[in-house]
Amino acid sequence: MKFLQSPQSLLLAASLILPSPVFAAEPQKLLKGVSPKVIEWRRHIHQNPELGNREFETAALVAQHLRSLGIEVKTDIAHTGVVGLLKGKRPGQTVALRADMDALPVEEKLDLPFASKKRTNYRGVETGIMHACGHDAHVAMLMGAAEVLAGMRDTLQGDVMFIFQPAEEGAPKGEEGGAELMLKEGIFKRNKPDAVFGLHVTSNLAEGKIGYRKGPLMASSDRFEITVKGRQTHGSRPWGGVDPIVTAAQMVMGIQTIVSRQVDITKEPAIVSFGKIAGGVRNNIIPDEVQLVGTIRNFDMDTRQQIFESIRTIAANTAEGMGASAEVEIFEGYPVTKNDKALTTEMLPTLEAVAGADHVMEIDKITGAEDFSFYANEVPGLFFFLGVTPEGTDPLTAPSNHSPLFYIEESALEVGTEALVRLTLDYFEKQ
Task: Identify the domain boundary among 334, 365, 391.
Answer: 334
At residue 8, does pLDDT exceed 90? no
In the chain, % of residues over pLDDT 90: 92
pLDDT digit string, tens, across residues 220-272: 999 999 999 999 999 999 999 999 999 999 999 999 999 999 999 999 999 99
Examine residue 142 and state whether it is found in any structural domain, yes or no: yes
Examine residue 1 and state whether it is found in any structural domain, yes or no: no
pLDDT digit string, tens, across residues 324-338: 999 999 999 999 999
Q: Find the helix or strand (DSSP H, E) in which 428 lies.
A: helix 412-430
What pLDDT, on the 0 to 100 scale, is given for residue 1? Answer: 35
- Please check whether residues 192 and 236 belong to one and the same domain: no
- Please check whether residues 319 and 363 belong to one and the same domain: no
CATH of the domain at 260: 3.30.70.360
Catalytic one of 57, 185, 334, 427: 334
By CB atoms closer than 10 A (0-12, 13-18, 19+), residue 42 is: buried
At residue 354, does pLDDT exceed 70? yes
At residue 25, does pLDDT exceed 60? no
Cα(369)–Cα(372) distance, rounded to whole angstroms?
9
Instruction: Return the CA Rg of the chain.
Output: 24
CATH of the domain at 160: 3.40.630.10
Q: Does residue 29 sit in helix, strand or coil?
A: helix
What pLDDT, on the 0 to 100 scale, is given for residue 187? Answer: 98
Examine residue 265 and state whether it is found in any structural domain, yes or no: yes
- Please check whether residues 77 and 22 belong to one and the same domain: yes
Q: What is the mean predicted confidence (pLDDT) over 61-83?
A: 98
- Please check whether residues 206 and 237 belong to one and the same domain: no
- Please say whether the beta carbons of 286 and 230 come within 8 A: yes
Task: Identify the domain boundary among 334, 359, 381.
Answer: 334
Cα torsion angle, 202, 205, 208, 209, sign? negative
Examine residue 306 and state whether it is found in any structural domain, yes or no: yes
- Please check whether residues 71 and 38 belong to one and the same domain: yes
What pLDDT, on the 0 to 100 scale, is given for residue 381? Answer: 98
DSSP string, 83-103: EEEEEPSS--EEEEEEEE---
Examine residue 137 and state whether it is found in any structural domain, yes or no: yes
Instruction: Give Cα 253 to chain centroid, integer Å.
Output: 31
For β-strands 381-389 and 195-206, DSSP reports them as parallel
- Please say whether the beta carbons of 105 and 132 come within 8 A: no
At residue 349, does pLDDT exceed 60? yes
Cα(316)–Cα(381) distance, rounded to whole angstroms?
39
Answer yes or no: 212 catalytic: no
Q: What is the mean predicted confidence (pLDDT) over 72-95?
A: 97
Cα(34)–Cα(95) distance, rounded to whole angstroms?
21
pLDDT digit string, tens, across residues 127-185: 999 999 999 999 999 999 999 999 999 999 999 999 999 999 999 999 999 999 999 99
At residue 33, does pLDDT exceed 80? yes
- Please check whether residues 165 and 77 belong to one and the same domain: yes
- Please check whether residues 199 and 326 belong to one and the same domain: no
Work out how many domains the chain is built from and give that number.
Answer: 2
What pLDDT, on the 0 to 100 scale, is given for residue 7? Answer: 40
Cα(136)–Cα(47) distance, rounded to whole angstroms?
9
Examine residue 2 and state whether it is found in any structural domain, yes or no: no
What pLDDT, on the 0 to 100 scale, is given for residue 22? Answer: 36
- Please check whether residues 377 and 316 belong to one and the same domain: no
pLDDT digit string, tens, across residues 370-422: 999 999 999 999 999 999 999 999 999 999 999 999 999 999 999 999 999 99
Task: Identify the domain boundary among 282, 310, 334.
Answer: 334
Q: What is the mean predicted confidence (pLDDT) over 120-124?
A: 92
27 band by pLDDT with thresholds 50, 70 and 90: confident
Domain range for 207: 7-218+336-430
pTM: 0.92
Cα(401)–Cα(387) distance, rounded to whole angstroms?
11
- Please check whether residues 19 and 118 belong to one and the same domain: yes
Answer yes or no: 410 catalytic: yes
427 band by pLDDT with thresholds 50, 70 and 90: very high
Q: Mean pLDDT in the chain?
A: 94
- Please check whether residues 210 and 87 belong to one and the same domain: yes
Whole-number Cα distances in Å, 155 to 85, 195, 253? 16, 19, 62
- Please say whether the beta carbons of 73 and 83 come within 8 A: yes
- Please check whether residues 253 and 206 belong to one and the same domain: no
At residue 24, does pLDDT exceed 60? no
- Please check whether residues 75 and 189 belong to one and the same domain: yes
